[in-house]
Amino acid sequence: MILRLGTRASALARTQSGMVARDIEAAAAARGLDLTVELVHITTEGDVNRASLVGLSQTGVFVNALRDALLADECDLLVHSLKDIPVEQPQDIELAAVPPREDVRDALCTLGSSLEDLPAGARVGTGSPRRAAQVLALRPDLVVEGIRGNVDTRLGKLHDGFDAVVLAAAGLSRLGRLEDVTEFFAPEAMVPAPGQGALSIEIRPDADPEWADVVRSLDDADTRAAVLAERTVLQVLEAGCTAPVAAHATVAAGIVTLHARVVNTAGTLALNETATGPAAQAASVGRRIGHTLLGRGAARLMGGTP
């Protein structure tokens, strides 16, 4: 049996999808099922539109073309970086599995030694308003500028006038580029994006149960609960993946602990909330924090208003 796995064509997307493909084949073999997974490369709006993500209608910018291909039966399943998918799950597409999460941290790549050692006025590149705001909160004397492109393109900015760039540690790890990292940010210092470091596998609900159950077996309950709590904060705040909203949840002994942060774009004001609850009620924990943040003025911060 051959499964067609739809993926973006970037090096990182192909690497992530290849990892999932091998895991599916191994899980199928353990069940005595002869299954081969082939990658189908799909171009998305986010791949061809080089404008800033802040200027794009970002909801689904890296996702819609993949989902259209799935529904058109051009592929059998999809792999996404979970932080890229909209929080509202379509009824005609099943989030079949969230595999165990990779490193959630953000990473600084610089020709120097650390964020602290960068000179005043140094140029730091990032495509994320969340990262930009938190870098400015840590070092208001730096100049943060938006950049787009794949990992190699962003790292190349270090030889094109930038003193540092900030990337997700998970992507660098999957690409075997951790040697480019100068400093890892603790999640408490730079709270990650909701879903950062996690992958999602989507299928059609009417998929053949013989292989669909193999895909579902890759789901990690703790990771799914953690990202559900984080993404529910986004849902309550009605914020997209480019809003300066950060959330990081961990699960231990059936308890989810969630820390969420909303920062204004200048990095001068931040709202922080932390809550815990049963992992089985992860969405409720996320809703609680989201409504608390709204009550404290999160909407104004997301809009850039002091």
Q: Which sequence positions are flagged as catalytic?
A: 84
What are the beta bridge partners of residue 251? Answer: 256
Q: How far is the C-alpha of 210 from the C-alpha of 214, rounded, in Å? A: 7
In order of 6, 9, 60, 172, the CA distances from 65 in angstroms are 10, 12, 9, 25
Spatial CA neighbour of 262 closest among 232, 240, 293:
293
Name the helix (H) or strand (E) containing 275. strand 270-278
Amino acid at 105: R
3-state secondary structure of 244: coil
CA atoms 10, 180, 245, 129: torsion sign: negative
What residues are paired with 184 via a beta bridge?
A: 107
Structure tokens at 195: 């879903």
> CA 144 to CA 133: how far, in whole Å?
9
